[in-house]
């Protein structure tokens, strides 16, 4: 089955890898709320959990950080690692997640407030089998330049969800329309061929890296609401009409929520240089 999926089609089908990723959350004015941003993967290397207070999700400027917290990673058998605070509000682990295992984090702030993420299973992800690019002339739909496509396979069984993270010359693309995610509802069990993954053209000499991540259905719904409230309303700097609930629960005080997300993913990487 030959499928070419653009980003807009991906939207209709209904996505703790890089230590450089910073994702902040914008909510209406009101009580200051804890924001959790963390992702555990099955890759070697440092993963981060960023604790801050409310700010703009796609704004990479400094946000108020939550320091001195206790952050503990758990699997189904109990605690597996206590994260160290590398810098204010940035808690790190070298723990490597295992496919098929379920994980969550526990947080206790210096004020004694306790939070916990909903458990998530680290699901497998199909490999990116090929990566290639094509030069395109300018049209009414696309600018002139080089566009990257990938081939992959979607395993049989409805219920898989994915996210794609892009890096150009080492920089994580973190604008609202860079948020790429999808479910397998309409492509279940089929090869995905010539999937044009870039939304903006590349230039000669650019180094491009793509990560394909498995995500949960809950994460898929979180990213859907996030994009609806950022990319499709007014300016990118407008406040969303409502706070975005993630998967972080405040223990003992359910009426006072935390925001953000802690998720788990398996990852497949590919990279290419435009020559």
Query: What are the tens digits of pLDDT across the range 44-96?
Result: 999 999 999 875 555 556 678 999 999 999 999 999 999 999 999 999 999 99
- Which tens digit of pLDDT belongs to each residue from 220-271? 999 998 888 776 655 444 444 556 778 999 998 766 678 899 999 999 999 9
Question: Across the strands, what pairs with 150?
Answer: 131, 195
**What rounded mean pLDDT belongs to the chain?**
85
Give the Å distances, CA to CA, from 252 to 35, 76, 86, 108: 18, 21, 29, 12
Q: In this predicted structure, which of 34-38, 45-49, 127-131, 257-261 has the lowest mean pLDDT?
A: 257-261
**146 pLDDT above the threshold of 90:** yes
- What are the structure tokens assigned to 61, written together? 């400027």
The predicted model scores a pTM of: 0.81
Is residue 5 very low, low, confident or very high in pLDDT (cuts 50, 70, 90)? very low
Q: Where in the chain is the domain with CATH 2.60.40?
A: 7-15+125-218+268-273, 34-122+235-266
Q: How far apart are CA 249 and CA 8, in angstroms?
A: 32
For domain 7-15+125-218+268-273, give the CATH number.
Answer: 2.60.40
For the domain bounded by 34-122+235-266, which CATH number is listed?
A: 2.60.40
Determine what percent of the chain is predicted with pLDDT higher than 90.
68
Specify the pLDDT at position 200: 93
Does residue 138 surpass a pLDDT of 70?
yes
Q: Would you say residue 14 has pLDDT above 90?
A: no
Look at strands 191-196 and 145-153 and give their pairing.
Answer: antiparallel
């Amino acid at each position: 089955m030959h499928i070419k999926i653009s980003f807009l089609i991906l939207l209709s089908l209904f996505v703790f890898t890089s230590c450089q990723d910073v994702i902040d959350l914008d909510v209406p004015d009101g009580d200051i709320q804890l924001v959790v941003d963390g992702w555990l993967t099955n890759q070697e290397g440092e993963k981060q959990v960023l604790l801050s207070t409310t700010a703009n999700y796609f704004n990479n400027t400094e946000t108020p950080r939550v320091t001195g917290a206790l952050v503990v990673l758990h699997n189904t058998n109990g605690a597996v690692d206590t994260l160290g605070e590398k810098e204010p509000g940035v808690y790190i682990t070298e723990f490597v997640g295992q496919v098929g295992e379920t994980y969550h984090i526990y947080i206790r702030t210096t004020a004694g407030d306790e939070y916990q993420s909903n458990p998530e299973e680290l699901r497998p992800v199909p490999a990116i089998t090929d990566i290639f690019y094509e030069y395109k002339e300018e049209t009414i739909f696309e600018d002139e330049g080089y566009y990257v496509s990938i081939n992959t396979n979607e395993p049989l069984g409805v219920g898989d969800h994915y996210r794609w993270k892009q890096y150009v010359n080492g920089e994580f693309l973190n604008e609202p329309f860079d948020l790429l995610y999808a479910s397998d509802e309409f492509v279940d069990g089929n090869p995905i061929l010539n999937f044009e993954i870039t939304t903006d053209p590349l230039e000669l000499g650019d180094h491009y890296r793509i990560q394909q991540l498995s995500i949960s259905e809950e994460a898929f719904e979180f990213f859907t609401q996030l994009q609806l409230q950022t990319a499709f309303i007014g300016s990118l700097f407008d406040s969303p009409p409502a706070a975005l609930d993630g998967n972080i629960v405040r223990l003992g005080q359910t009426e006072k929520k935390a925001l953000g997300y802690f998720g788990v993913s398996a990852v497949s990487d590919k990279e290419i240089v435009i020559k």
